[in-house]
Structure 1
């Protein structure tokens, strides 16, 4: 991935850096499925495999009815989707169904506490002020209740828009600008409460920022004193936090995705090592040019600084003094998320490596997590990391990334388990994992523990399962672990839906009125609704010549996994991505993030320092302001459960 790729409108994740000869998912899919194996027109039409079964232990059983008075579950086996779908749109606004309201909470620049520095609409806040404000480009998120009508909202800030972050853009890069960008990255923890029917941020000792400069700890097989982690400073910071996870013991997991893009060098003689190239490290980075003002990000000066990123970071929201911990047993990749479920008392963590041609991983704890914590051992430090192989008969196998197992031996050049985890991608190559089209968010069905994964888009393939090359729309797959046990090492898989617009592709699964592309965010609510959020690239969004004019702006939809029905629930403003989702325990308030509204698009235009509102002016619509990412608070006007 080079800066020229970015200039041409390519997303960093769309360019593969996987040189292995491992089978691609498209090849496996072609051998396994026919066109009847996908969901079409909103109904399940799977012809073979576990999803087609109607009886027996392998059947995809519907959710059981819940007791009356349990909100949406009171519908039992009835219709999960009770709202009227909204049409696709291209307006600079947020649209939700009739009977719902969406309010804006904690936009970028909001002070953490009432005494903090106020947001300046000309983007002239300093780096020190930004460190005391809500970060930029909200992404993965979770709500931790702390009482009735209150709790901590924890959210990621994936990256920064260099045109909108500074009053004069980034034509000239300075150390102050690097520091401000670092302060706008990371994670925000804020207390919110419901008062008078509305949610608001309140002052709290828990309110804090974790940024690109916050001191961090390392735990697991790769320790902070590992030779390949030694750099010019003590370990600090987390960057490019995309999706997230949360643990049964009440901590938050932030996931470092496109960390490679922040590093670069002006040293003409520098060349990436094989491992650096495997992670997409290039001299230009993604054009941030931080290395020109801060040697920490000069890959020729501090090459080991790279190795401090690419991890899952555990944060205790209820302990402001605790350092974030990078849990190295979960591997070093471009983590899209870290979805945690529990099976036989053990934690299981699923993660996608979000780049074209990369893999899907899962971590399985070595013992029940409660026992480990009783022994003062962190459950995320003790277990086995696996990578997925999808076989052409509809089965799959989890391959252990364990030193001394299979090809991961000293005779083959592997030193120890720390080496395997530092070079996770190369280890997965060696094991013969299946290359995938940008594996992103993972969601686990609370009713039957089936696992769903978004494949946003990619190079595509010519076959009966998905006859698109390239694949501009993406799809969602699902699998069932053997015996319904998420710790198992084998599974059966199928395709849940092929995204797309039937007007351009008759094999697309959604009905024309609910067409969508590039599924990204994915989350189950307690009632079994599958919420799908989209991230169509701004080089493609709204364009008829790329088959996305009917799809419109990015959106969020809800699906019933039992029937395949999909309905559009929300449409975002221009230039945005819809991402991050959580609800209150009663399901009556939903939190959703609107990321990068107003970012440059080939359809709407390009913002400049002189005209930051060229694409969007959401949510402030201030004639002297600029677009701001923010969190939406969505409620049903009658106080009911979201989605009913």
Structure 2
């Protein structure tokens, strides 16, 4: 046997005293894994097989056991822009026990491991070029670490796609690397027991189907299970959208009919129910989006849905009708255009061209005068409800099967000579029940929507809240969509409290912020300054002594917002439509779609162009040659509140971008220097990316959608992406306007030319409008609405087959349907960047 020397000193375990024949660890590994193993699939896997778990990494660079070190590389330094997905790829030379990527410096990002050598991250939002350092480390079999660093320099966000060419195709065209998928179409069932949509004019029960003319829209994240809000969920949510109007010719078998001027009830019911709002559940699974036809929160809100009035005009004399003798309730919402998304998880829908639906017979003015309410005639005329109107679609002519029903009679605003003068016996006051902002709680299918009268009555296009700052009263921005109307701001009486965003009593929070405050109208001065003028009874001309319209109280001011704004001398604008607030700067952007009534003599600094835009005959027979005069192509104006506070009563402004074909005069018309990659006409929809992802941080992305007739000889309507600058980044300009033989100069304030920071992202199908946009919180799915494709055709002469044409030209034409598409990036990245 072997002898040992017992006189040896204390050895601290550093000598080998195991003389047995048992194998070493390396021998066990070699016997089980005969070929060379590397990384996690190699030595680390072998170690796991022996020990039942992975070995821990060790610090330091010495190798006491003498195992050969591994050599690692972290890849070359790289550069990218905010929002792009970056892949880090390391290399290992030698046998490795384990490896990892860690961030050493720079704004923190979330690293997602792809495999033992690779990881990805989304480049964070930055204002200037910013280096981020990452370290790749690996251990040899003795747990000795070797590492290497790489630097990724991130620059501010940039538009990241090749511009889509103008076209007149019958599909939704998106950039290379993107996919547009049809999600929710006119007539799609949203409740159990509703048959599939036949799309032949025989379909009914639109109160349980998708409505027509999809418009403003919001995505609300839903909890993974249950029906509560989750602002971070990008794979399950509620899609809430407006249905502004109808394409009547396609809803019926052979178009709309009437007998002796009387509309059939079945047709009118379809048409009415196709208006309003949809609430539907949507989800993403295995990369594909779908809507749930039987979602528990699915809901249609139509012109027949019960409503309540809140705010200063609740119970006002002008809101009293045969249906609501006390003026506190009403029925329905109609012609819902743009929207608003409240931080407390409610949806604002806005009543735009509601006035056109009402009949008003000749002689009505005399009846009102005799009843002692002559000023109602002034109000009705100011909102376009003149005598002799028959009302859109003739709903008031219907004789219902249920003779007690007033669902159709209410569309006749003519005062009955035998009814009480207070309006409680007829529907003379029904028009005053429309033109409001309506708040909806999408998470409670039984809740009753509330009409928020403090925000005024007009052709509400949208209502967008500005930045919310604790202790500061929030502002809500609105446009009145008609030629020569105004831009408005409502400032709440309540200061913002962040905790309200998570309240379960969402409509009560709406009561807090939307029922009391000050409504203002904008006045824009030639020097680039502006003022918010308060619409408050008793201030200035807003009193009983006003010669044009004697105001009785604050409710009267709000019901007759346009007349009050007239009295204050607000600036008449070129069809104020959507508003959007830059989440980084707080600047408010407003689309001014166009104005055919703008003349050379009536231009001003904020609405500076009056010109002629010739239009060539197009291949589509419904587009004819001609000339559009006035401000044919529209513009996007922006303003910055003084002191960057929502409570300000003054601001500065300039014009971000002028719509124009790139072939128009660059000196006097194409003032933004647009080219073939970004020329557009008639801006309408407007929306900034969400601050929950890079598209809404530091340098946010602005999306612009068009509703055009002047540019359709060259292209269908479109959507563009922009990264705009700030108010004042351009200069003053003087242009010469010319229409016919009349010319005059006009000064204005033009923002910095957008250049490549404005780019065409999407072109829609034939005869459509692009309107309505929202994204998931992560910015990786964008929802867009396509409204009234083929609107100039009918069942016998179909001019668009979309959305059936999205997957290829149908064998036979298909009736077109308004629909929602969802757009994703093929590599899974953030849309637009």
TM-score (norm 2): 0.65
What is the SS of the residue equivalent to 1:273? helix
1:255-293 CA-to-partner distances (Å, cap 9, x unmatched) read: 00000011114x343358221111111333564212222
Aligned to 2:357: 262
Consecutive aligned runs of 4 or more in structure 1 exceeding 6 Å deviation: 371-376
Q: In structure 2, how many angstroms separate the alpha carbons of the residues matched to 1:352 and 1:71?
A: 36
Say yes or no: does 1:108 pair with 2:203: no
Q: In structure 2, how many angstroms separate the alpha carbons of the residues matched to 1:72 and 1:428?
A: 47
Say yes or no: does 1:420 pair with 2:514: no
CA contact (8 A) 1:117 1:132 kept: no
CA contact (8 A) 1:479 1:494 kept: yes
Q: Which blocks of at least 5 consecutive residues in structure 1 are unaligned?
A: 1-64, 544-548, 601-606
Aligned to 2:414: 300
**How many angstroms does 1:460 deviate by?**
3.2
User: 1:496-515 to 2 correspondence within 5 Å?
Assistant: 496-506=656-666, 507-508=669-670, 509=672, 510-515=674-679
User: 1:282-293 to 2 correspondence within 5 Å?
Assistant: 282=386, 283-284=388-389, 287-293=392-398
CA contact (8 A) 1:72 1:80 kept: no
CA contact (8 A) 2:781 2:823 kept: yes
Aligned to 1:47: none
Say yes or no: does 1:176 pair with 2:266: yes
Q: In structure 2, how many angstroms separate the alpha carbons of the residues matched to 1:487 and 1:112?
A: 42
Aligned to 2:487: 360
**How many angstroms does 1:123 deviate by?**
2.0
Change (3 A) 1:393 1:430: same
Say yes or no: does 1:542 pair with 2:712: yes
Aligned to 1:55: none
**How many angstroms does 1:442 deviate by?**
0.7
Change (3 A) 1:625 1:132: same
Aligned to 1:331: 456
Please identify the structure whose Cα radius of gyration is greater.
Answer: 2
Change (3 A) 1:624 1:448: closer
Say yes or no: does 1:574 pair with 2:766: yes
Change (3 A) 1:270 1:347: same
Say yes or no: does 1:553 pair with 2:716: yes
**How many angstroms does 1:74 deviate by?**
4.1
Q: In structure 2, how many angstroms separate the alpha carbons of the residues matched to 1:371 and 1:561?
A: 28
1:461-520 CA-to-partner distances (Å, cap 9, x unmatched) read: 546853535110000111110011122100001111111013123231222332100000
Say yes or no: does 1:396 pair with 2:568: no
Aligned to 1:214: 305
Q: In structure 2, how many angstroms separate the alpha carbons of the residues matched to 1:142 and 1:574?
A: 25
Q: In structure 2, how many angstroms separate the alpha carbons of the residues matched to 1:382 and 1:248?
A: 18
What is the SS of the residue equivalent to 1:179? helix
What is the SS of the residue equivalent to 2:822? strand
Aligned to 2:586: 449
Aligned to 2:253: 167
Aligned to 1:91: 169
Aligned to 1:36: none
What is the SS of the residue equivalent to 1:379? helix
Aligned to 2:688: 524
Say yes or no: does 1:278 pair with 2:382: yes
**How many angstroms does 1:72 deviate by?**
6.4
Q: In structure 2, how many angstroms separate the alpha carbons of the residues matched to 1:171 and 1:541?
A: 33
1:1-36 CA-to-partner distances (Å, cap 9, x unmatched) read: xxxxxxxxxxxxxxxxxxxxxxxxxxxxxxxxxxxx
**Residue correspondences, number:** 559
CA contact (8 A) 1:260 1:285 kept: no
Q: In structure 2, how many angstroms separate the alpha carbons of the residues matched to 1:299 and 1:83?
A: 52
Change (3 A) 1:285 1:257: farther
Say yes or no: does 1:460 pair with 2:598: yes
Aligned to 1:348: 475
Say yes or no: does 1:158 pair with 2:236: no
Aligned to 2:32: none
Aligned to 1:146: 222
Say yes or no: does 1:616 pair with 2:787: no
**How many angstroms does 1:382 deviate by?**
1.3
**How many angstroms does 1:80 deviate by?**
2.0
**How many angstroms does 1:372 deviate by?**
11
1:21-71 CA-to-partner distances (Å, cap 9, x unmatched) read: xxxxxxxxxxxxxxxxxxxxxxxxxxxxxxxxxxxxxxxxxxxx9754584
Q: In structure 2, how many angstroms separate the alpha carbons of the residues matched to 1:444 and 1:608?
A: 39
Aligned to 2:337, which of 226, 242, 246? Answer: 242
Say yes or no: does 1:405 pair with 2:573: no
Say yes or no: does 1:189 pair with 2:279: yes
What is the SS of the residue equivalent to 1:264? coil
Q: In structure 1, how many angstroms separate the alpha carbons of the residues matched to 2:779 and 2:309?
A: 35
Aligned to 2:787, which of 569, 590, 595? Answer: 595
Change (3 A) 1:586 1:407: same
**How many angstroms does 1:371 deviate by?**
9.1
CA contact (8 A) 2:217 2:239 kept: yes
What is the SS of the residue equivalent to 1:91? coil
CA contact (8 A) 1:141 1:581 kept: yes
Q: In structure 2, how many angstroms separate the alpha carbons of the residues matched to 1:321 and 1:347?
A: 28
Root mean square deviation of aligned Cα? 2.1
**How many angstroms does 1:610 deviate by?**
2.5
What is the SS of the residue equivalent to 1:493? strand
Q: In structure 2, how many angstroms separate the alpha carbons of the residues matched to 1:597 and 1:400?
A: 41
What is the SS of the residue equivalent to 2:823? strand
Aligned to 1:381, which of 512, 515, 534? Answer: 515
Aligned to 1:434, which of 571, 578, 582? Answer: 571
Aligned to 1:4: none
What is the SS of the residue equivalent to 1:261? helix
Aligned to 1:478: 638
CA contact (8 A) 1:192 1:201 kept: yes
**How many angstroms does 1:168 deviate by?**
2.3
Change (3 A) 1:485 1:403: same
**How many angstroms does 1:164 deviate by?**
1.2
Q: In structure 2, how many angstroms separate the alpha carbons of the residues matched to 1:98 and 1:312?
A: 39
Q: In structure 2, how many angstroms separate the alpha carbons of the residues matched to 1:491 and 1:110?
A: 45
Q: In structure 1, how many angstroms separate the alpha carbons of the residues matched to 2:165 and 2:190?
A: 36
Q: In structure 2, how many angstroms separate the alpha carbons of the residues matched to 1:162 and 1:457?
A: 25
**How many angstroms does 1:124 deviate by?**
1.1
